Chains A and B, each alone.
Chain A
C-alpha cells in the first residue's frame, strides 16, 4: 500500500493495527494506552545492589532466550557496554534469539554484527545503524526486519508497549551502590543520560554498568535507584576520547561558512526570530557554524535566545555563559565543554528522550522549536530527506531526532552541500524517506536556496529580505549536470528494515541490496 510520501509498504507489515504514513500530525488527538513494566519488589532493605559480574546480573534478572535488551548511546562511538553485555549473554551464558533495542548503534558496536550472522541476535530496534551492523542487516542476515525509529518515536513505542524491554542496561559514568546514575563525575563522562531515562522506567529489569562507583547518594540522579535491580562495576565502560570530543570547533571551511551565513540570514528574515526564540542545531560543519552568524543577528536586534534544545556543544555553552541564551536542555552532550556544563552552568538542564521528542506525550520540547537546522544525506524534490541509507542502499545512518525536530519546529532548515564527491545530494527520489517532506521547509546548499512550496509565508520572508532562492528542481538539475544522474539501485524483495514514522506509522522500508554483478 502506498503511503503519503509515495512509498510502497508491503501489506504483510500492516498487521495489528499498523498503518502506513498518512501525513504530519495524523495521530493528533488520538489516544495512547501506556503500558507498565512488571518489576520485582525489593521490600527488604538492601545494603548494596552491586553484583560481581555481568553474568550474575543477567542471572539475577532471569535472562533467557528470546529476550529484548536495551542500551543507550550516550557513550556514542566510545561505548563498550553493549558489546560487553551481548558477549556475556551469548558467549558466557549461551543465550540466543535476542533482540537489541538501542537508542542508537554505531561503529563501536561492530562486534555485534557477528552475533547477527550467527543467528544469536534476531532483532534490532534502533535509531541509528552503521558500520558492519548496517552491512550485515542490509545483506539480509538479520532474522526479522530491523525497526528504525526516531528519538521521539522510540519512547512513544516503549510507552505504547510496541517494544517491550526485558532488561535495560544503563552504561553510567558514575553510580552509587544502589544504582543512582549520573553522566558526570567519573572517568568516562558523557554529561546527559537523557536517552537512558525512558528505558529505565519501562523495562522489567534495569542493570547499571559503571566504571566509577561513588558514594551514596549520587544525586541529582538521571537514572534513579528506585528503578534499578543490579549494579555491575567494570574496568571501563568506554573510550573517553570517543565519548566526547575535545571542544567542537566551528568549521573554517568557506563552503560551510557560506551556507551557515545563509542559514542565519534566513532565520533572521522570519517573524519567529524574536526575543525568546527556541533553537536547535546539529553539530555538522555548516549547522554548527550557523550559531556564529546567528549571534551577530541577535546582537544587532538586541534579542536573546530563550532556549537551546540539544545535542549541545561548546558554541552553545558559550552563548549560555554569555547570557545570550536563557536556558539549554539536552539529551546528549557532544563535547567536553558541554559535558562539564550540564547541571553546572545555571540554565543548562538534562531532559529525557521522551521529553525531548515523543510525539505522543503532552509537551515535548521539539514542539516549542522555532527553528531547527539539520543536515541530510539526500533530499529529493518533494523535500523528503534521507539520513539513513547510503547511495548504495546500505544502512549507514540515523534518523535520530531529525524527523521529530523537523515535525515540531516552525521552520526546519536543511543545510547540505549540493554534491558530495560524485553523489548528488539533491535528487529526484531519496533512497529512503526518513523525514517526510511535509516537515521540511527550507533547503540551503552551496549552490542556492530552495523553499518548500508548502510554505508561501517563508517565500515572502526571503523575498522581503532580498535572499535569492530557486526551485528545488533547478538545484537537482544542477547537481545532475555536475555529477550525472545515478542509475536506480537494485533491490531484492526481502525487507531488511522498517522505517517507522515518529507517530508509529510506516514511512518506508529498506530492502536487501542486490549484490553487484559485473
Chain B
C-alpha cells in the first residue's frame, strides 16, 4: 500500500487538474503530465448512482498508485448531499493530501468538514491534522464570507472560485475580459491574502480557444492568483509558463536581495539599482519570486 508523505500546507500549486475519480484510465497515471496537483472528483463528474463506485475507484487509486510529488486532492460532494461524510472517510483512509469542500459558504461549513475529517483520522489511525482542506466558493454568499472561510482552520491551504455555479447565481455568463467575475475574484484574493492562504482561479472550459485561455491565465497571474484549476492536460504547459518566474525575474530578485543585505550591513537603507529605488520593502517580494523559482526547479541558490 502506498503511504504518501505528510502533505505540505504551502507548496507550489500552479496547476490543479480535475478528473473523474470513477475513471481508472484517467486517474491511473495522471501525474505524468506534470501538473502540481490533481483533483480527483467525487462531485459533479460522478453520476448520482455511481458515487459508491467512484469511492471504491478512488480508494484503490490512492492506495496503489504512487503519485510521487504530485499533490492529490479530492473534491467531495456538497454538505447538502448524503454523500460527503462517506467521501471524507474514503479520502482519509486512502491518504489523500487534501479535501476540497464544494459549495462552501461559511466558516461553519469548514468546521463541519474539519470535525468529520478529524473523526476519520482517529478512526483510521491517521495523524490528526494531516489532511489539508481547501474551499471552493461557488455562490455570492461564499464570496461575501470569504475571509471567515479562509481563516476558519489551520488545515486550510487555499480557496478557489468555481465559475460555472457562480456565474449562474450572478445571472451572468463567461466574458472574455473577465468582468463577469472581476469583483468576486478580487474579493476572494483579498480574503485569501489577508488570511495568508493560497488562491486559485476557476477552470477555462473552451479547449479550442487557445487565445482566450492565455488571456485569462495572464489576467489571473496579474491579479495575484497562485494557480488555476484545469480540465485537460494540454492546459498545463501555458499555466506553468505564465506562473513560473522568468529567468530575468529570478536574476533581478537575486540581485535585489543581495544588494539590500549588503547595503544594510553598510548602514544604508535606501539606494538605487539599475535606476530603480530599492529599500527593505522589496525584500519579501523578491524572496517570494526566488521561492517560487526554487519550487519550479529553476533556482538553486541559498537566498531562500
The interface of chain A, by Cβ under 8 A from chain B, is: 254-255, 257-258, 261, 446-447, 482
The number of chain B residues with a CB under 8 A from chain A is 7
Interface majority SS (helix, strand, loop, mixed), chain A: helix
Tell yes or no: B246 within 8 A of A by CB: no
Interface majority SS (helix, strand, loop, mixed), chain B: helix
Tell yes or no: B233 within 8 A of A by CB: yes
Instruction: Point out the residues of chain B lying under 8 angstroms from A257, CB to CB.
Output: 233-234
| Closest beta carbon of chain B to A28's beta carbon, Å | 41
Tell yes or no: B232 within 8 A of A by CB: yes
Residues 223-267 (chain B) with a chain A CB within 8 angstroms: 232-234, 237
Query: When each residue 31-52 of chain B gets 1 if its CB lies under 8 Å from chain A and 0 otherwise, what string results?
Result: 0110000000000000000000
Given known contacts A446-B29, A447-B32, what 9 new A-B pairs fall within 8 Å (CB)? A254-B232, A254-B233, A254-B234, A255-B233, A257-B234, A258-B33, A258-B233, A446-B32, A447-B29
**How far apart are the CA atoms of A302 and B232 in the complex, in Å?**
30
Which of B29, B233, B237 has the most chain A CB atoms inside 10 A of its CB?
B29
Instruction: Point out the residues of chain A lying under 8 angstroms from B234, CB to CB.
Output: 254, 257
10 chain-A/chain-B pairs, Cβ below 8 angstroms:
A254-B33, A254-B232, A254-B233, A254-B234, A255-B32, A255-B233, A258-B233, A446-B29, A446-B32, A482-B29
| Closest beta carbon of chain A to B238's beta carbon, Å | 12
Instruction: Point out the residues of chain B lying under 8 angstroms from A258, CB to CB.
Output: 32-33, 233
| Closest beta carbon of chain B to A468's beta carbon, Å | 10
Number of A-B contacts (CB under 8 A): 17
| Closest beta carbon of chain A to B281's beta carbon, Å | 34
Closest residue on chain A to residue B32 by CB atoms: A446
| Closest beta carbon of chain A to B225's beta carbon, Å | 23
The interface of chain B, by Cβ under 8 A from chain A, is: 29, 32-33, 232-234, 237
Instruction: Point out the residues of chain B lying under 8 angstroms from A255, CB to CB.
Output: 32, 233
| Closest beta carbon of chain B to A222's beta carbon, Å | 40
Identify the 9 closest CB pairs spanning chains A and B, nearest first.
Answer: A254-B233, A446-B32, A254-B234, A447-B32, A257-B234, A258-B33, A254-B232, A254-B33, A258-B233
Instruction: Point out the residues of chain B lying under 8 angstroms from A446, CB to CB.
Output: 29, 32
Instruction: Point out the residues of chain A lying under 8 angstroms from B232, CB to CB.
Output: 254
| Closest beta carbon of chain B to A18's beta carbon, Å | 45
Closest residue on chain A to residue B65 by CB atoms: A482
Instruction: Point out the residues of chain A lying under 8 angstroms from B29, CB to CB.
Output: 446-447, 482
**How far apart are the CA atoms of A447 and B33 in the complex, in Å?**
9
| Closest beta carbon of chain A to B209's beta carbon, Å | 14
| Closest beta carbon of chain B to A300's beta carbon, Å | 14
Instruction: Point out the residues of chain B lying under 8 angstroms from A254, CB to CB.
Output: 33, 232-234
**How far apart are the CA atoms of A446 and B33 in the complex, in Å?**
8
**How far apart are the CA atoms of A447 and B29 in the complex, in Å?**
9
Instruction: Point out the residues of chain A lying under 8 angstroms from B237, CB to CB.
Output: 261
| Closest beta carbon of chain A to B240's beta carbon, Å | 13
**How far apart are the CA atoms of A426 and B95 in the complex, in Å?**
30
Instruction: Point out the residues of chain A lying under 8 angstroms from B33, CB to CB.
Output: 254, 258
**How far apart are the CA atoms of A20 and B33 in the complex, in Å?**
43
| Closest beta carbon of chain A to B123's beta carbon, Å | 31
Closest residue on chain A to residue B31 by CB atoms: A447
Closest residue on chain A to residue B17 by CB atoms: A254
Closest residue on chain B to residue A258 by CB atoms: B33
**How far apart are the CA atoms of A171 and B174 in the complex, in Å?**
56
**How far apart are the CA atoms of A258 and B240 in the complex, in Å?**
15
Which of A254, A261, A446, A447 has the most chain B CB atoms inside 10 A of its CB?
A254
| Closest beta carbon of chain A to B62's beta carbon, Å | 16
| Closest beta carbon of chain B to A257's beta carbon, Å | 6
| Closest beta carbon of chain B to A115's beta carbon, Å | 41
**How far apart are the CA atoms of A261 and B237 in the complex, in Å?**
11
**How far apart are the CA atoms of A228 and B162 in the complex, in Å?**
71
Instruction: Point out the residues of chain A lying under 8 angstroms from B32, CB to CB.
Output: 255, 258, 446-447
Closest residue on chain B to residue A446 by CB atoms: B32
Closest residue on chain B to residue A445 by CB atoms: B32
| Closest beta carbon of chain A to B120's beta carbon, Å | 29
| Closest beta carbon of chain A to B294's beta carbon, Å | 16
| Closest beta carbon of chain B to A414's beta carbon, Å | 18
Closest residue on chain B to residue A481 by CB atoms: B66
| Closest beta carbon of chain B to A402's beta carbon, Å | 26
| Closest beta carbon of chain A to B244's beta carbon, Å | 13
**How far apart are the CA atoms of A446 and B34 in the complex, in Å?**
11
Closest residue on chain A to residue B64 by CB atoms: A482
**How far apart are the CA atoms of A384 and B210 in the complex, in Å?**
40
**How far apart are the CA atoms of A482 and B29 in the complex, in Å?**
10
Closest residue on chain A to residue B28 by CB atoms: A482
Instruction: Point out the residues of chain B lying under 8 angstroms from A447, CB to CB.
Output: 29, 32
Closest residue on chain A to residue B34 by CB atoms: A258
| Closest beta carbon of chain B to A323's beta carbon, Å | 24
**How far apart are the CA atoms of A255 and B34 in the complex, in Å?**
12
**How far apart are the CA atoms of A257 and B237 in the complex, in Å?**
12
Instruction: Point out the residues of chain A lying under 8 angstroms from B233, CB to CB.
Output: 254-255, 257-258
Which of B32, B33, B232 has the most chain A CB atoms inside 10 A of its CB?
B32
